[in-house]
Structure 1
Amino acid sequence: MFTLEIGGRPVAVLNLPTVADAEELLGDKEFRNDLTALQSEGRPLWDGQAAMSLREATADERAEFENSAADEEDDDGGFVMFLVDVADPNAPNGPDE
């Protein structure tokens, strides 16, 4: 597991087997578009300019991911867990959906 940091701030845990897989995800245009569309505290997670980096997830981050996955009733094979509150302003009912 790896942690994505944006501008030095831990933003998400990526449950991927290798750093190459995580780097590939960071290079994915759709994932980058999602990061600019999703908001935390009223601002985009990524402004398109801030540095993004990967590091090994800490033990606490791994545990948080595993607890979150265990709480999911419908396991859709998700591999990203945000460490910050995230809102989608493009959701049909506004940013809280």
Structure 2
Amino acid sequence: MLDQVGSEMIVYVAEISGRGIAAFDAANDIEAQAQLANRGLLRDLIVLQNKGRALWDGVAEIHVRMATPEETEIWQASRAAAAQSGEDSDVNRHVFLVPVIDPSHDKFDDDDDPHDDDDRDGD
């Protein structure tokens, strides 16, 4: 799966308000544009925050462009790290280019023990 990246896949960036937000790979411009309809990506853009604000307001236009060399390096490094940790099964993986937090997750993360903050993991 990662072998595709080295051949014909191109790294694209979802850009909002002139800022590159998420990088992902696609075979061509049409496929890249279609990835903007990915419900998981759209949800993340609305829920995740950078500097206290949502990445996307749900209204602003999201542009797709080819990644810069620096953005491509960030994407490749993230993919390599995911492959090493066994997380490379997600073919349409989006890599955020800005630091993000999930405020819905933070509501459950008081100053408790970090190993005891998620009762949903089936311990």
TM-score by length of 1: 0.82
Aligned residue type for 1:82:
F
Match of 1:43 in 2: 53
- In structure 1, list runs of 5 or more residues that go unmatched: none
The 5 A counterparts of 1:1-97 are: 1-72=11-82, 73-78=85-90, 79-91=93-105, 92-93=108-109
Query: Structure 1 stretch 83-92 or stretch 69-78: which is displaced more?
Result: 69-78
Identity of aligned residues (%): 33
Q: Which portions of structure 1, spanning 4 or more consecutive aligned residues, are displaced by more than 4 angstroms?
A: none
Query: Structure 1 stretch 75-84 or stretch 1-10: which is displaced more?
Result: 75-84
Q: Which has the higher contact order (CA 8 A, sep 6+)?
A: 1
2:27, 2:76 → 1: CA distance?
15
Deviation string 1:30-63 (CA, Å, 9 cap, x unpaired) is 4322211111111100001222101111122111
Give the number of equivalent residue pairs. Answer: 95
- In structure 2, list runs of 5 or more residues that go unmatched: 1-10, 111-116, 118-123
Q: Secondary structure at the match of 2:109?
A: coil
Match of 2:121 in 1: none
On the 8 A contact 2:48/2:101 being kept in 1, the answer is yes
Q: Higher helix fraction: Structure 1 or Structure 2?
A: 2
CA 1:34–1:7: 2 relative to 1, 3 Å: same
